[in-house]
Structure 1
Amino acid sequence: MSMDLERLGRKIKAAQHRQHRTLDAALAPLGTTIVQWDALRAIGARPAASGHELALATFQTDQAFGTLATRLEAQGLIERRAGEGRRIDHRLTSAGARMLDAANKVASDIRVQMFASLTDTERATLGALLDKLLAMAEPGQLHPAKRPSPR
């Protein structure tokens, strides 16, 4: 029996959406959001990365990441410095590192809860299947099936 691909895609999206809502609610008492935490994670993992590199790492446009970085800088969580050429380097401040550490603990607890109903084998299988899907071409390289034109 073949699963309807639209339903499958919606189930993936629903699982992601539930995780995001749950994480956002759990991060709120810390004074951060999932989007801010993800940016702090990316900056912490890539010290001195450019805004463009960080936008790619956080699935945002350059403009959206720039706006977010401005907010994080105003909150004292990151600092931006002129880099080589027109590049702006991003680094966590000590307050940003503390926020990232606290948020990572919250996120870890949420992930444990989210995946608790899956066995280790099921988690490994899910991970392998998602890796297989992600190994396909990027969205801009996928093309709709060619259909005969109506006459």
Structure 2
Amino acid sequence: MKPSLREIGLAVKRLQWRHHSAAGKELAELGVSLPQWDVLRHLHEQPDASLHELAQLTFQTDQSMGSLAARMTARGLIERREGPGRAVRHQLTAEGERIREQGGRILDAVLADSIGQLSKAEQVTLLELLTKATR
């Protein structure tokens, strides 16, 4: 029986919810949310990203990203630095880097419990199909 597009979409959403729920619970023990950890991850990978770019990378609005960055700055996870012109950039603090690393291990474990159970060939196929569907 061929699955409907809705069934496939719901399966993708259920997997995403499973990941977010498990990761959120574990990350809370580090004192961060999944969106905060995601900001740390993206700042590590793209240290010159603007707040607008971080908002896009983390699926937030510019306004919510600004509020999140302010809270993360107050907590000592990131710090502001001057960018070109009037741009303001942010960078990880030592504490932000520590949380990013610990959070990365949490995310790896969460993903290993689901996607990690697929064979390597199935993982490659899944990535190819999801990438193709998002074009």
Instruction: Give the TM-score band, short-chain normalised.
Output: over 0.9
Aligned length: 135
Shift >4 Å, 4+ stretches: none
What is the alpha-carbon distance in structure 2 between the residues aligned to residue 86 and residue 12 of structure 1? Answer: 41
Percent of residue pairs bearing the same amino acid type: 41
Give the TM-score normalised by structure 1: 0.84
Alignment of 1:55-70 (within 5 A): 55-70=55-70
Alignment partner of 1:104: what SS? Answer: helix
What is the alpha-carbon distance in structure 1 between the residues aligned to residue 61 and residue 26 of structure 2? Answer: 25
1:138 equivalent in structure 2:
none
Give the TM-score normalised by structure 2: 0.93
What is the alpha-carbon distance in structure 2 between the residues aligned to residue 109 and residue 117 of structure 1? Answer: 11
2:100 equivalent in structure 1:
100
Structure 1 runs not aligned, ≥5 long: 136-151
Alignment partner of 2:84: what SS? Answer: coil
1:49-94: CA deviations, max 9, x gaps?
A: 2101111111111111111100100000000123222311110011
For the pair shown, the structure with the greater C-alpha radius of gyration is 1
What is the alpha-carbon distance in structure 2 between the residues aligned to residue 6 and residue 122 of structure 1? Answer: 22
What is the alpha-carbon distance in structure 1 between the residues aligned to residue 76 and residue 116 of structure 2? Answer: 35
Alignment partner of 2:90: what SS? Answer: strand
How far off is 1:128 after superposition?
0.8
1:28 equivalent in structure 2:
28
Alignment partner of 1:84: what SS? Answer: coil
Structure 2 runs not aligned, ≥5 long: none
2:53 equivalent in structure 1:
53
1:140 equivalent in structure 2:
none
2:83 equivalent in structure 1:
83
